Structure 1
């Protein structure tokens, strides 16, 4: 019996899975790349909801980080203390909002769907008298479905239970990220090629800056619209002024769609108190939208990215259909980040082209000198 020399590896031959033909190996490698890309795309679709939750956590972290940086301009204390102040203030505001919504306007919230339904039925009855062929029974069914959604929104003001788990996950991840943002940034950069990391850090820095400004402007718009709506409606004695102010402020987070929904609700409640009150609510709505459109939005766009309204609306519709209310809320920030990335990529290409042109000019100048 023969034996191999001590320490030598036995000659066991080629693996049965080895492709001996170099051309076939090349084609198999290419096929493996395509299969991997398709698998990655399928995996992305499968976990898209989780990815959206993570992005929501990034948006939340950007909002907290913006508040921390703003406090840092006036309070020369450690970052951890400023984070604690922002978080405690946010929790205190949510507790106050829940108490106010639950104790002060709970009865109004319960009556709100009935008022909206009554006004919608009266509107369609008036249209029917003007010659429009409308079946009131079908309309009532549609209104009932819509009112159930409005009722969910108003009940959520008294105690947010739907989607609570998602909100908690978003908040926890966001807090972890805002405490040590560089740790997670380095972790993502570590998975990238070394030559791409510098550009990654620059792009992420621009995205974070844009996101902070975008969220700050959005919060300012929410506060201004909510308070202004409440003050103008309460001044005229419109019913449920506080509830409409809260709804208008919350819906202001969603551009375009939020304004339309809040305006319809405001006008319907206004006409429940008569024609003059209804006309006044229409005036208030257009006044608020003009302030938002000509003052707040330009101020935000000047500091962040200027997104086309049609593009934002299309993104909201797509994200809303795919991911529901969470996708609707995050469509605008996601679109802004995509635009920042594309603009950065275009700037890189432009810088590369300029470098090539300068190199050619220097080569031509060198040949001329020779």
Structure 2
């Protein structure tokens, strides 16, 4: 205290006081890493709502692509064209569900039983040759049949995923009705100097996804019809159902083709060896058409994604986010690749400098040779001493 003759108490900095610039900078870096980890955790925890939004965006891109395509032939306002495309899409989807429900209702159960029987026969053959242990048949077969059962009931279990599908459709319609409102809303949160790049990247991503989805729809129709025609010509049972499932699963690259191939081969061998061999031939014919005609055309018009990258993304997204992540993996990867390419193009030296002042690559390649010739050239003889006025400093 001041009156007892003792020295006044002086406050000392505590452990929360950081005056060293180095400590402050490292502390800021640590918070950046912590914020990044928290962001990743939030994305994982909120994966389902985020994927519903992404699915709505993909559906909006699909509607926008149809609206733009219709605008080439019908000079109608955008709202009218969007309504026509939306009603036509819902009408076609309703017809497919009604046709599948009324025509294939009994065949779905027959397909499940056929696949189960074929898997049991395959497992019995493998166990008889010592390829798998005898006691693990129940666990392995139940897991395999459970996954196959879920795949074969994609059309029949649409009611179970009605809520998610309804939200995706509503979000997609809202985005497609007024896309510029949401574009300006996101751009408003960006600095003014970055908004031009944002609009350019958004335009490139939208164009790429529109072409990608259009090519995907063409591939689904071609694969479904070709599979139905080939299986029907070869006498394979449930040809129409297998063609429908092949067309639907064609929306999922790699894994969809493998699943549809397993189904048609299993059904083919259930009718006999000739039908089974014909189903194998049909599968390879469909995949060759898709791999050598449809996919190269889509890749040339959109973005060329390596099959291994797409498959790895499907496995990771499927393990983290379920079936919806598996369904949207390739579109998300395509959007990311286009975004990164656009950012790299805008940050390249050619874009950051004036093209008129950029160095000539040919001249730059000839510079070392000119320097070497100048060094090898003999030095000139010294001239008379300079007698002019001294140079000014």
Pick the TM interval, shorter chain.
Answer: 0.7 to 0.9
Describe how 1:211-222 pairs up with structure 2 within 5 A: 211-222=209-220
Q: Partners in 2 of 1:65 and 1:360 — Cα distance?
A: 40
Matched residue, 2:62:
63
Q: Deviations over 1:278-334 (max 9, x none)?
A: 000000000000000000001100100000011110000000000110000000001
TM-score (norm 2): 0.81
User: Which moves more between the two structures, 27-36 or 262-271?
Assistant: 27-36
CA distance in 2, matches of 1:105, 1:21: 74
Change (3 A) 1:34 1:107: closer
Match of residue 5 from structure 1: none
Q: Secondary structure at the match of 2:159?
A: coil
Following the alignment from structure 1 to structure 2, what is the Cα–Cα distance between the partners of residues 293 and 47? 36
Per-residue CA shift, 1:84-113, capped at 9, x if unaligned? Answer: 111111111121111111111111101111
2:83 is aligned to: 84
Q: 1:264 to 1:29 in 2, by over 3 A?
A: closer
Question: Within 5 A, what are the aligned runs for 1:152-231?
Answer: 152-158=150-156, 160-231=158-229
Structure 1 unmatched runs, 5+ = 1-15, 363-370
Contact 2:345 2:351 in 1 (8 A): no
Higher deviation after alignment, 210-219 or 117-126: 117-126
Root-mean-square deviation (Å): 2.6
Q: Which structure 2 residue ranges, 5 or more long, are not aligned?
A: 1-13, 361-393
| Structure 1 outlier segments of 4+, above 6 Å | none
Deviation at 1:199, TM superposition (A): 0.4
User: In 1, distance between residues paired with 2:265 and 2:32?
Assistant: 57
1:151 shift after superposition? 2.9
Cross-structure match for 2:365: none
Structure 1 residue 44 displacement after superposition: 3.0
Aligned pair count reads 347
The within-5 A match list for 1:295-334 is 295-334=293-332
Aligned pairs for 1:20-59 (under 5 A) are: 21=19, 23=21, 26-27=24-25, 35-59=34-58
**More helix per residue: 1 or 2?**
1
How far apart are 1:156 and its partner, in Å?
4.0
Residues 227, 360 of structure 1: alpha-carbon distance in 2 compared, 3 angstrom cutoff: closer
Structure of greater Rg: 2
Displacement of 1:124 in angstroms is 2.8
Q: Is the 8 A contact 2:227 2:243 kept in 1?
A: yes
Range with greater deviation from structure 2 (205-214 or 162-171): 162-171
